[in-house]
Amino acid sequence: MKKLKIGSFLTVVVTLLAVYALVKWGIPAVSREITTLPFPLPVPGTLMFMYMVLTIIALFLFVTFSDEGLDDFLRPVRKFLRGGYGKIPRAVILLAIPAIAGWQVYENTVPRVEVPASLRIQHPSSNFPRSFEALKNPVANPSDADIKTFVEQAKANEVSFIPQVREDIDNWAEENDPEHVLEFFAVAPVKKLLEQVQSGKVDMATAKAALLEKNLFEGRALYAMNCRACHGDSVAGDGPMADGFKLRPINFTDNGTIETIVEGYTFWRVTNGGPGLPTEATPWDSAMPEWKLSLTEEERWKIILAEYNLAGKTPRIPESH
């Protein structure tokens, strides 16, 4: 069988194109098969450059290995330059080469009008529902009915707790055998309430202060369970997971964060998380979870109470006040 012989010039061109195609499309396609990700892994430009330089060096060695080889390679080039392939193709290609080079230089150097990189807006309001603005934290401002229910529970020694802290309180009660479950809270307002319960004369202000202590305790527990990993024990945005994010979890002790917003806004942010933010909050997507999926409204409000308390901040007062 006669061996198909293509000239070494064509071999060089075909090899260059084949290596380029392999790096440009072959590697990403294979990477997609291997990783099964929905997108190909990109090949960095520097890698492409290195592959092409190595290929050109190899081809140079191959062509200049012998005088015949070099002759073989240059034959079509000479023929082309002498007009052996026609005068018009020669003119077209000889004009095209400087034109393409010039166009490339122009493309790389021309100044462009582009939108400047925007700063992230931490508190975007374009899709913030106005109805949230005047919301008041129900666990920080309990109604008279809530307080009365709490007093009844305290009198009957049947105070209800969220299930997340129930076990800890039960364990404590088993070990300490207290007369009243509220002895768990060794703070002044609760002690005062217990004295009043004993004497039978409870005033609303004391009961409210004690109820706030209970809500705060529950909020802190929920914070530790759900938010601490990112926002940290110290609420300074330095939890164990914090370093993993380009857009860091917010430091609540910073003056520009939860102190500058009304609590209804904080509630909305916690409720909808990163996925609820409009485009002004980009670049970088927020890793903040969408808490309406895993926490009840009451739990979210209790956490917010604890969040402000731990940070030593008070929410901004709504304009309507």
**Which residues bind to ligand HEC, rule: CB under 6 A?**
122-123, 226-227, 229-231, 241, 245, 247, 249-250, 257-258, 266, 269-270, 274, 286-289, 291, 303, 307
Query: Of 138 and 289, which CB lies nearer to ligand HEC in the complex structure?
Result: 289
Instruction: Report the nearest approach of ligand HEC to the CB of residue 245 (Å).
Output: 5
- C-alpha 236/C-alpha 147 separation (Å) is 33
Residue pair 161/222 in contact by the 8 Å Cβ criterion: no
- Minimal distance, residue 124 CB to ligand HEC, in Å: 9
Q: Which is nearer to ligand HEC, 137 or 257 (CB)?
A: 257
| CB 234 to ligand HEC: min, Å | 14
Neighbours of 232 (CB within 10 A): 20
Shortest Å distance, C-beta 274 to ligand HEC: 5
Q: For residues 124 and 181, is the Cβ–Cβ distance under 8 A? A: no
Q: How far is the CB of 167 from ligand HEC (least distance, A)?
A: 20
Closer Cβ to ligand HEC, 73 or 299, answer by number: 299
What residues pair up with 316 in beta bridges, in sequence order?
Answer: 262
* Strand, helix or coil for residue 261: coil
Query: What is the rounded CA–CA span in Å between residue 239 and residue 172?
Result: 28
Contact 239, 230 (CB under 8 A): yes
Report how far residue 141's alpha carbon sits from residue 208's, in angstroms, rounded to the nearest whole number. Answer: 9
What would the DSSP string read from start to end of 33-76?
A: HHH--SSPPPPPHHHHHHHHHHHHHHHHHHHTTSHHHHHHHHHH
Shortest separation between residue 218's beta carbon and ligand HEC, angstroms: 13
Minimum distance from CB of 154 to ligand HEC (Å)?
28
The answer to whether the beta carbons of residues 142 and 209 sit under 8 Å apart is no
Compare residues 149 and 260 and give the one whose CB is closer to ligand HEC: 260
Six-digit token string for 247: 């857009």
Nearer to ligand HEC, 55 or 257 (CB): 257
Minimum distance from residue 106 beta carbon to ligand HEC (Å): 41
Structure token digits, residue 173: 């009660």
Please count the other Cβ atoms lying within 10 Å of the Cβ belonging to residue 3.
Answer: 4
Q: For ligand HEC, which is the closer residue by CB, 196 or 257? A: 257
Residues 222 and 168: their CA atoms lie apart, in Å, by 13
Q: Which two tokens stand for residue 228?
A: 């601490």
How buried is 230 (Cβ within 10 angstroms: 0-12 exposed, 13-18 middle, 19+ buried)? buried
Q: Nearer to ligand HEC by C-beta: 55 or 226?
A: 226
C-alpha separations of 256 from 59, 109, 243 in Å: 61, 41, 20
90 or 123: CB nearest ligand HEC: 123
